[in-house]
A and B are shown apart, each in its own frame.
Chain A
Amino acid sequence: MSAPSTRDEGSKLLLVTYVVVCVCLIIGLVAAMKSAMFLARNARNAKSIETSIASYEKWPESVREEFRPMLVQNGGRVKPAYTFARFTLLQMNNSSAVKFETRDGEKYRLSPDEWLLDVLFRGELAKDLPIFNVDDTEAVSGLGVLPKEGNKEHHKRDRYSYNQLLVARGKLAEEGRRISEKDANYQKSEKDPQYELTRIEGITKRLSQNVSMFEYLVGQFNVARNGESLKLREDLQVLAENFDAIGLMERVPQLTESQLMQFVQEPAPSPDEQTLQSAFQLYWFFANAGRYFQILPPKDPMVDEWVSVGDVLFQGLASRDSRPWAKGHLELLTTLVRSEKALWTGGDAAQATFANQLGAFVGMQYVAASERKQARHEALSAELAVAENDFERERLETRQGNLKVEGAKAAREVGLYMGGAFAKSLVCFVFGFLVLALSWLVPGSKFARGITVATVLLLGLGLVFNVYGITIRSVIRSRPPITNLYDTIIFITGIAVFLALMIEFFTRRGIGLLLAAICGAGGMFLSIRYEVKEAVDTMDPLQAVLDTNLWLATHVTTINIGYAAGMLAAFLGVYYLLYRFLRPLKRVFRQLRTGEQGEIFHEDKESRDYAKTLVKMAYGIVCFCLFFSLIGTVLGGIWANYSWGRFWGWDPKENGALMICLWTLVILHMRLGGYAKDVGIAVLSVVLGVIVTFSWWGVNNLGVGLHSYGFTEGVWPALYVSWAEAGLIMSCGLPLWLHGQLQKRRKAASKLAQA
């Protein structure tokens, strides 16, 4: 007689738990949406994009084509101007496109190459473009810059032009210096909280750096501009209009940079010398202003550093031997800058002339790069010929074998960025998801089957774009696919999509397609957001400890395959929990409304089989994750033993990988021991996802350990939100577990009754 009352109490408890979890899920969903809306509102720029520019004339396509592959040495490598412009713009503007509206009401959207052309050749116009992203207007209003019209509230993000910030230039520089000193103390004091930068200070520091960088870029070609758009002393302005740097260089004996500085600072003994001194003041000014943009190959082919226009001016003055070289470069540059002036008034012929001049300049760079490699090869051959022993010979031969033509893959790099393989991949995954969602409207129909084929094609195409992009990046760098945190995102996305499609291939249940679409779209979106947030070239050269293709190809690749599998297992766990939890939602509402009694989780055989398949898949993926994580972790230890002298050092990154191995082993042993059944495995898989995100992102944010090349900042809020959501989804397992317990008790009671 006791069985019915037990069942009633149990059912009641189950119902209450179900409702509580439902409420928690709704609260969690609302909180997530609220925080997303809050972030979106803060991240939104002011709608006003008006500028004081009267009208804007676009750069001809022929000019842009010549300009994009122009070589620039920056961040330790020689890269195309397009890449340089793209990441500089991301850093300043938080976007790789410049949007603005002229006074004549026309709206424009500039690509990175167009913007850089404006900065280098039409500096005055570029100063009016709204490119300085300020995440919080408080950072600039405190310096005396008025918030823009339509953005009077504080704490909103907005973009300012250089001319709009000019009023606070002095204060900004002062603040920038103070904040940099404070930041240096923070690093020196092993992160003493008293030196920690506030959010506004962080924004101000970045703005100050960006404004300085912009000023340098605008001033690169000043020496060839005949004093245009310069605000100089009257006598200097007159001199600047007829300034002849080459003539001045040839008039004087050798003068080092410090000697020149001394000369321009000392009072001139006679009026004649005063004129000369003024001319050299201008020379010094132009040389200093032109010292950022390293676009010219150095005179000595054995020197790694390329030089800027400013360096050419200083080096030409310092050595008579360098003057023909300097003269050649300066003449080429002057011709280029002057032919640009005719571009806007001279019609098609002038356009062609400027494009040709630009092409000649870029051609000179490529020829020089090739000659540099040849010269280095010959120099090493000469050293080889007189090498004393096999040891030296071997070292020299290795160096000779490693010689490369700088910028040889620049055109391919421009093609990669212009082609937007990753953006296309994102579009395919998003469309794949939408098309898949269509098939849910008419399940089991012929239409749905056709739609499924379309989904497979779209997702496959997305994967192809992803793999193509990764391959091209590997080819450009001559490296395995992963060398930095950005690479991990696109690689893990590719692997997760591939695994999900493999699941679909084995099971044909549609689950693999859904997971592929979610992982693909989510991963590619994350990669784009991360690139914008970091705003640094993602193909910069590696530091010494990572300079090993063997370990990058083995340890790094396997460990990231493990991450991808861990995330996929977690998604499967989430899907299982939500699938089983949400199915009886209607029934529960009915029971609550009418007070009727009955099973909540009444599942037919097909649903049970489907849920079982989900768990099987999750378990299979957990095994896959263990295999790659374990191999990857031990390989990492062996690499550490080669480079740092110990196999294991309990470094945060090592610990993160270890935790993934340990947790997968927990899942496996709990399943083998019968302590975790379907619901348990699903919940533990979601925990695995939490551990993977901690290992992938969290440990990089701790800022301690030997893996400093992977450190990042500002990801904790996103991680906390994702972990909270994972926790809520895991709570769906509680009513499911209670249901399982109830079923067990009922079976036991029925057996007892039968006995």
Chain B
Amino acid sequence: MRFLYKLYKILSSYWLAAVTLFFMTVVTLVGTLDQVDLGLWEAKQRYFHSFFTSYKGIPLPGGLLLMMLLFVNMVFGGMVHVRKKWRGLPLLISHFGMLFLLVSGFVTWTQTRDGFVAVYAGQVSDRAQSYRDWQIEILEVNEEGQATKAHTIPTEVLAKLGPTDSRKCMSDALPFSLTIDRWFENAAVLPTSAPLAADLPGKVIDGFKVKAEKGAKERSRNFPACYLTIRPESGEASEVILWGLSAKYDPRSSTSAYTFEVAGRQWALQLVKKSWPIAFAIRLDRFLYEKHPGTMTPKNFESRITRLDSLDAAEGKRVAIQMNKPMRHDGFVVFQESYGTREKGPEPEYYSQFAVSDNPADQWPLYALIVTGVGLTLHFIMKLVGFKGAAERNRRQRREASANLDSASTS
């Protein structure tokens, strides 16, 4: 019991609060500075989504550990330990608001799935794609050339592979096995005739080689590639190079899948970004992109869409999505994120890209802000009234003392 009480005292102490907050400031600082070299994603993983980290060899607690400590400290110190008097009520409210904010952060971190939908005018989509996660899809193709069933080698498997690794993947449902021989997080696939490919080590498959590229600071810009060996249960093995995409993303261009035949059936392989269904379909009716006259500064992005219940639905609800004006529906939030084109010329056709998020804690920070704001306002008003009273008293005392001194010197 004594140990538990001591532990409670430590966990609820101002000392722990001050130390945790101090290290959070330090970790935030170094995590910010290191974004210049590492990029945002890498810095986030290293400093803020970790239990322990280091900066230039100096060990530091990670953001995750610090936030957990802060949570515990706020629960014990700011809610349980605090004296329950009406004067302490505003602080109790503020601490509750901050706790709620931390909880909403945790829920967002663990439960949110962020992706994007990109469509040209007239196109419809009901799937969101991941920014960074890739997977290998093995498709069963029917006689009309349509995929009837998909098997995947998931992101979790691919994320563990490197340029020297090999991994065999098998399934009872497949009449062949796949061996990923080398996995490149970011790569370019070059024909052997290209000057850059001349001294490149590695296998040549169908006149192409894989050139490993430096990982982009913004990881969504990486295009992975791998060597893959297909081994049927009977018959000869074949080798293939799979590559994320040959150029910038364009929602109109379909990924060229590698097709082959095994056991009398047609199959296709493709390396694609992970995707998942959303609760509705988005049809882009019109994309407006205005610039301030005579400049390249964007003035307005606006996507006029029709929200459909399904891909085949003809009628739906018309909505305008703009910067700062997202669409919230059925647990999903759709934001105007960016736009793009692969066309050149004076009036290229743009596709519109929406960020799609299904965050259960979407509006929680707003509620937390209101609670904390009320608590802090009450607290500081009380403090200010106290300070004003004390200042008045001091001034009066000073005046009286000075008057006494004057009368003493006169007499």
Contacts and interface: CB of A to CB of B under 8 A. Distances in A.
- The reply to whether chain A is a binding partner of chain B is yes
A747 interface: no
A634 B28 contact: no
B25 A541 contact: no
Contacts of B301: 544
A257 interface: no
Given A650-B43, A669-B14, A670-B14, A547 B323 contact: yes
Contact of A659 (B29, B112, B372): B29
Nearest to A666: B21
B33 A702 contact: yes
A545 B369 CA distance: 22
Interface residues of B, number: 70
A453 to B, nearest CB: 17
A647 B299 contact: no
A304 interface: yes
Interface in A630-646: 630-631, 634-635, 637-639, 641-646
Contact of A506 (B13, B377, B391): B391
Residue in A294, A391, A703 with the greatest tally of chain B CB atoms within 10 Å: A391
B315 to A, nearest CB: 12
Contact of B294 (A294, A630, A666, A694): A294
A702 B32 CA distance: 9
A616 interface: yes
Contacts of B112: 646
A723 interface: no
A649 B357 CA distance: 14
B40 A704 contact: yes
A674 B43 CA distance: 35
Interface string B19-37: 0011011001101110110
B80 interface: no
Interface in B340-386: 355-357, 359, 362, 365-366, 368-369, 372-373, 376-377, 380, 383-384
B357 A645 contact: yes
Contacts of B300: 544, 547
B293 interface: yes
B337 interface: yes
A389 interface: yes
B295 interface: yes
A547 B33 contact: no
Interface in A673-727: 673-675, 691, 694, 699, 702-705
A641 B323 contact: no
A609 B39 CA distance: 50
Interface string A118-156: 000000000000000000000000000000000000000
Contacts of A691: 25
Given A630-B376, A634-B369, A669 B18 contact: yes
B286 to A, nearest CB: 10
A624 B379 CA distance: 11
Contact of B387 (A190, A620, A650, A673): A620
Given A541-B299, A547-B323, A623-B383, A673 B14 contact: yes
A662 interface: yes
A77 B292 contact: yes
Contact of A702 (B28, B36, B325, B335): B36
B299 A645 contact: no
B376 A627 contact: yes
Contacts of B394: 609, 613
A507 B390 CA distance: 10
B243 interface: no
Nearest to A634: B369
A547 B324 contact: yes
Given A76-B293, A702-B33, A543 B298 contact: yes
Interface string B309-335: 000000000101001111000000101
B365 A647 contact: yes
B335 A644 contact: yes
B211 interface: no
A648 interface: yes
Interface string B204-216: 0000000000001
B108 interface: yes
A147 to B, nearest CB: 37
A659 B28 contact: yes
Contacts of B15: 673, 675
Contacts of B297: 76, 540-541, 543
B336 to A, nearest CB: 8
Residue in A645, A655, A675, A703 with the greatest tally of chain B CB atoms within 10 Å: A645
B17 interface: yes
Contacts of B383: 620, 623
Nearest to B29: A659
Contact of A648 (B22, B105, B299): B105
A196 to B, nearest CB: 13
A541 B384 CA distance: 40
Interface in B251-266: none
A551 B324 CA distance: 9
B14 A675 contact: yes
Given A643-B335, A648-B105, A76 B326 contact: no
B25 to A, nearest CB: 4
Given A541-B299, A642-B324, A666 B335 contact: no
Nearest to B14: A673
A664 B373 CA distance: 16
A672 B293 contact: no
Contacts of A227: none
Contacts of B320: 391, 395
A641 B365 contact: yes
Contacts of B388: 506
Nearest to B298: A544
Interface string A300-341: 000011100000000000000000000000000000000000
B28 A662 contact: yes
A649 B40 contact: yes
Nearest to B77: A669
A547 B377 contact: no
Contact of B391 (A507, A641, A662): A507
B25 A666 contact: yes
A699 B29 CA distance: 10
A615 B13 CA distance: 24
A425 interface: no
B274 interface: no
A562 interface: no
A656 B44 CA distance: 15
Nearest to A635: B369
B233 interface: no
B333 A703 contact: no
A702 B114 CA distance: 26
A673 to B, nearest CB: 3
A305 B380 CA distance: 51
A627 to B, nearest CB: 5
Interface in B46-74: 48
A620 B381 CA distance: 11
A424 B324 CA distance: 38
A389 B318 contact: yes
B219 to A, nearest CB: 13
Contacts of A662: 21, 24-25, 28
Residue in B36, B40, B292, B362 with the greatest tally of chain A CB atoms within 10 Å: B292
Interface of B: 13-15, 17-18, 21-22, 24-25, 28-29, 31-33, 35-36, 39-40, 43-44, 48, 101, 104-105, 108, 112, 114, 216-217, 291-295, 297-301, 304, 318, 320, 323-326, 333, 335, 337, 355-357, 359, 362, 365-366, 368-369, 372-373, 376-377, 380, 383-384, 387-388, 391, 394-395
25 contacts: A73-B294, A77-B292, A391-B318, A391-B320, A609-B394, A613-B394, A624-B380, A626-B376, A637-B365, A638-B366, A642-B325, A642-B326, A643-B323, A643-B326, A648-B105, A649-B40, A650-B31, A659-B25, A666-B21, A669-B17, A669-B21, A672-B14, A673-B14, A694-B29, A702-B35
Given A544-B323, A665-B17, A704-B39, 4 more contacts: A646-B359, A666-B25, A673-B13, A691-B25
